[in-house]
Amino acid sequence: INKETEVVIIGGGGSGLAAAVSAHQNGAKVLVLEKMPNVGGNTLISGAAYNAVDPKRQGAAGIEDSIEKHYTHTYEGGDKLGKPELVRTLVENAYPTLEWLESLGMKYEDTIETIVGSLWARGHIPVEPLGTGYVNAYMNYIKQHSDEIEIITHAKATDLIVEDGRITGVNAEGENGKIVAKASKGVIIATGGFSANVEMRESYNTIWPSLKNLKTTNQPGATGDGIVMAEKVGANLIGMEYIQLHPTGDPKTGGLDGNVARDIEDNIFVNKNGQRFVDEGSRRDVMSKAILEQEGATMWVIVDKHSYPEGSDDSEFFGSIDSLIAEGRAYKADTLEELAQMMGINPENLVKTVAEFNKHVESKTKDQFGRTLYRNKIDTAPFYGGARVPVVHHTMGGIEINKDAQVLDKDGKIIPGLYASGEVTGGVHGSNRLGGNAMADINVFGKIAGASAAKN
Ligand code: ADP
């Protein structure tokens, strides 16, 4: 089939849907091609916390923050390897874009959290589970404007159409054969990362030991297609070797669900020997590397009643702590010794480790691993614990863009008609993405890409 529209978006995850809504709000007719049976991508199954400097919510909790601080954390947390122009765009637009999402019906809790590897308390937690709130907010808008925004699922884009040096459309394989989608204003690539593509991951990875045997948090469609398509038309790729491992994956499924931790201030990580080995508030790459060096490349997360005051409260994402225990994914005991025995880790050492940790909570002093984030002691039964492992979570590298989400070639020149946003791009996070910055990234740049393409 032949389709003619103004803006074609490849990928219907969070960033693609943000771009679709934004392009339409800026006056364009839009077509979204999504290869999977459903829209949502990884965004749907992500932790979904959104970092933004928010005077209202952070102010109410007495959390001091600033755009400069968010910039510094992001830039330095990625070893100064991000593009300053993109980091600046991210942090300055994070809150206005969050307000835009709220205008579309997205809802966040009033409280702010410190996400794993976020380095600061600026994480906004969606009211709906995981990333469903984002997808629902965008899809509500899209359904209301279905005459001007079309979504085709089971449509896998295979290559970009180039005419006189300009990107004018996309070829795709649909359920009933080939789709040729022409775009008079522009094409936006929003196909996400390549964490689910083991071969591609191995070929770019120069930093970690082989990642072949690690599980991933990602959905199977995260295979880096957009990166390959863009490269074919001359796009520059940056930071491809920076692959993020998330330190708290489920040992069986690789998912982020089922973690007993709720807020990093209240948990500790111990190894099989019952000892701590890293600052639980540090960068994701630092924590993942440290876990890979422990026996069995596994750690156990320990919390106490402070995390589950009612006993049956929800665990980090969704599912109650009771259901995790019933499924054998988490353990609960009246003493730390008992908990250690149930999990097969050293009981005497765990008791000593917790006593040592509690001293630091009391004095609020930096410990030998550099931890500075404390709240409650781990001293109130019942105690909870569960095993976690590093899993492949996010690919920081990808297509190089400028602050208007225009794709750049190897000479730094704009490729006319081509835009990209979300995890498919590189240069926003440098070598290490902060927890909570992906949701800001994909929404901020999706919104910008949609507007840029529509105004073309
Ligand atoms: P982001 O967070 O950047 O939005 P997601 O992983 O949430 O990334 O979404 C990317 C979406 O792109 C997924 O739904 C994925 O299935 C889709 N996708 C990936 N490759 C293709 C392709 N070749 N054609 C169409 N859709 C694709």
How does pLDDT run across 368-391, given as a tens digit for each residue?
Answer: 999 999 999 999 999 999 999 999
- What pLDDT is attached to residue 382? 98
Pocket-forming residues, ligand 1, beta carbon under 6 Å: 10-16, 33-36, 41-43, 156-157, 190-192, 221-222, 225, 422-424, 442
Domain that holds residue 381: 246-391
Within a domain: residue 319? yes
Q: What is the pLDDT of residues 252-270, one digit of tens each?
A: 999 988 999 988 899 999 9
Residue ID of nearest Cα to ligand 1 atom 13: 41
Pocket test for ligand 1, best of 21, 34, 425 (most atoms within 8 A of CB): 34
Q: Which residues of 3-33 are buried (b: 16+ CB within 10 A; e: fewer)?
A: bebbbbbbbbbbbbbbbbbbbbbbebbbbbb
To the query of whether residue 284 is one of the catalytic residues in this protein, the response is: yes
Which CATH number characterizes residue 306's domain? 3.90.700.10
Residue ending a domain, choose from 343, 374, 391? 391
How far apart are the C-alpha atoms of 452 and 454, rounded to whole Å?
6
HSE-CB for 212 with a 13 A CA cutoff? 4
- What pLDDT is attached to residue 318? 72
Structure tokens at 366: 């930096």
- What pLDDT is attached to residue 375? 94
Q: What is the pLDDT of residues 187-201, one digit of tens each?
A: 999 999 999 999 999
Q: Indicate whether 138 and 55 sit together in one domain.
A: yes
- Amino acid sitting at position 397: G
316 CA distance to ligand 1 middle (Å): 25
Q: What is the pLDDT of residues 21-58, one digit of tens each?
A: 999 999 999 999 999 999 999 999 998 999 999 999 99
273 near 295, Cβ under 8 Å? yes
- What pLDDT is attached to residue 388? 97
Q: Indicate whether 122 and 156 sit together in one domain.
A: yes
How far apart are the C-alpha atoms of 309 and 317, rounded to whole Å?
16
219 CA distance to ligand 1 middle (Å): 9
CA 126 to chain centre: 14
Residue ending a domain, choose from 358, 391, 424? 391
Q: What is the pLDDT of residues 403-451, one digit of tens each?
A: 999 999 999 999 999 999 999 999 999 999 999 999 999 999 999 999 9
Residue 148: pLDDT over 80: yes
The structure tokens 């009612």 sit at 310
What's the residue count for the chain? 456
Q: What is the pLDDT of residues 278-336, one digit of tens each?
A: 999 999 999 999 999 999 999 999 999 999 999 988 887 778 999 999 999 999 999 99
Within a domain: residue 82? yes
Which CATH number characterizes residue 405's domain? 3.50.50.60
| Comparison of pLDDT for 210 and 10, the residue scoring more | 10
- What pLDDT is attached to residue 101? 98
Residue 271: pLDDT over 80: yes
Q: Indicate whether 406 and 385 sit together in one domain.
A: no
10 CA distance to ligand 1 middle (Å): 7
Q: What is the pLDDT of residues 66-84, one digit of tens each?
A: 999 999 999 999 999 999 9
In the chain, the number of structural domains is 2
User: What CA–CA distances, in Å, run from 78 to 74, 251, 320?
Assistant: 6, 27, 34
Alpha helices in 66-157 (DSSP H): 67-77, 84-103, 132-144
Coil, helix or strand at residue 337? helix
Coil, helix or strand at residue 36? coil
Residue ending a domain, choose from 339, 357, 391? 391
398-399 and 237-238 beta bridge pairing: antiparallel
How far apart are the C-alpha atoms of 422 and 433, rounded to whole Å?
13
